[in-house]
Structure 1
Amino acid sequence: MPRHIDALPKPVVVKDKKVIVLSFGRNGTMGLMHALEILGYKPYHMKTVLEHGAPHLNVLNDAVQAKYHGSGKLYGKEEFDKWFADYDAILDVSSFFVQELVEAYPDAKFILTYRNSQKWVVSINNTMLKMVTLVRARPFAILAYMNSFMAAWVRFGWLAPRHIWKDKPLGTDAAAIQTYHDHNALVKKLVPPERLLVVKLEDGLGWEEICPFLGHEAPETRYPRGNDPKEFGKLLRGYVAKGVIPLLGIAVSAAALVALPVLSGAGMKLGNLLK
């Protein structure tokens, strides 16, 4: 089966990877992305994936499927160089590929942010778990047949959870916590201490933590905050709407008229789940 990474145009220039944040999502990575932008980096984040739409979401899906589901060729430096060619910092999606990225870019500086594991589980349950539950529902399976972005989004909802819950049922806190601790321990094992900044969020994450490590003077502007679960819901609703709105024109057909109550129910679920 052809890989989506092979359909991306060959880059003319590949930026050196200067900073790679290996933290799981919901560990201050959104604020850290904005901080890196202020410092002059060009970061690639899960938000970037969604902004690029189906092509990049399917590239991510293929990589996740290969690593966590044993189907397809594992990504290495060649694939990462093509995928992240225009970017010199990587966050969020990088947590899927810790070993591969450390091997591909040994000269980069790495950051690991973490927090109390129980607080992290609560945050994951209020964000990613709700998203996964939503896109696995039947209305979104219908949408997947009508729109490439929604198809890629639904596929992600089925592939990505193994990264956190392994083979346990979705939302199993003990499994998620074990994965969290194992992930953080792996990062510390693989990355040389002199190239790794480890920050516990409860101790504070700001310019004074990251700037000395990255070799920058602290900006005068305030360190940017991340997104709480409500902001995550708002962000996600915007991307889902991006896939759903183009489908409204189908409503003139008899098939779509039959489907409208189902789609309406999906919209209500989306609003309720992400409040």
Structure 2
Amino acid sequence: MFMKAAYEILGYPTYHWVSMMENPKDLDLWNSTLSRKYDDSKNPDTLAEWDALIGHISAVTDSPINAFAPELIAAYPHAKVVLVERDIASWYKSFEKNVISPFVAPFTRIVLEVEPGFIGKMGRIGGLLMHGQWNSKDFDEWRAKARDGHKTGTQGKATAI
């Protein structure tokens, strides 16, 4: 959230995970986009497709959009890129608190499976990211891979830049 706040102080409307909570219709767009990437191997590949998702904002940060760094760099070749490298222990503490823990609570797991609306759609996005971006079959594997995955993901984004 710090980068979102910083960009917005500078006057750049910013897309972040919480943006989906503010704009629930985006949940369907991201579910479709992530499914295309991880299930169908067909990313949005035109500027018009990306503009439909994020054309109304000036900066992006966090999930789910960080899963598309190479695609976004290709779609917007003149965009400025800020690559944030965080202390891995600090990042993992935040990741565990804000990503893993909310999803693994027993009640949440049940709701994620049966609720077709907002919560269920958020859960599907989390599952697509867990399986696709993090190549993990369950939360235990996601936790085990998180630190190395974060480091590798940051390095991959740096290479794409």
Contact 1:164 1:176 in 2 (8 A): no
Q: CA deviation at 1:72?
A: 6.4
- For structure 2, the residue ranges without an aligned partner over 5 or more in a row are none
Superposition CA RMSD, Å: 2.2
**Counterpart in the other structure of 2:21:** 50
**Counterpart in the other structure of 1:79:** 49
Q: CA deviation at 1:78?
A: 2.4
Contact 1:65 1:71 in 2 (8 A): yes
Report the TM-score when normalising by structure 1: 0.52
**Counterpart in the other structure of 1:181:** 151
Matches for 1:190-205 after TM superposition, within 5 Å: 190-191=160-161
**Counterpart in the other structure of 1:116:** 87
Aligned residues: 157
Distance in 2 (alpha carbons) for counterparts of 1:72 and 1:117 = 30
Structure number with the higher helix fraction is 2
Structure 2 counterpart SS, 1:114: coil
Report the TM-score when normalising by structure 2: 0.84
Find out whether 1:107 has 2:84 as its counterpart: no
Structure number with the higher strand fraction is 1
Change (3 A) 1:141 1:170: closer
- Superposed structure 1 runs of 4+ greater than 6 Å apart: none
Distance in 1 (alpha carbons) for counterparts of 2:60 and 2:86 = 20
Matches for 1:75-154 after TM superposition, within 5 Å: 75-76=44-45, 77-92=47-62, 93-134=64-105, 137-142=109-114, 144-145=115-116, 148-154=117-123
Contact 1:45 1:91 in 2 (8 A): yes
Change (3 A) 1:176 1:140: closer
**Partner deviation per Cα, 1:119-152 (whole Å, 9 max, x = no partner):** 322321122001222476224433x14xx22331
Contact 2:4 2:14 in 1 (8 A): yes
Structure whose CA Rg is larger? 1
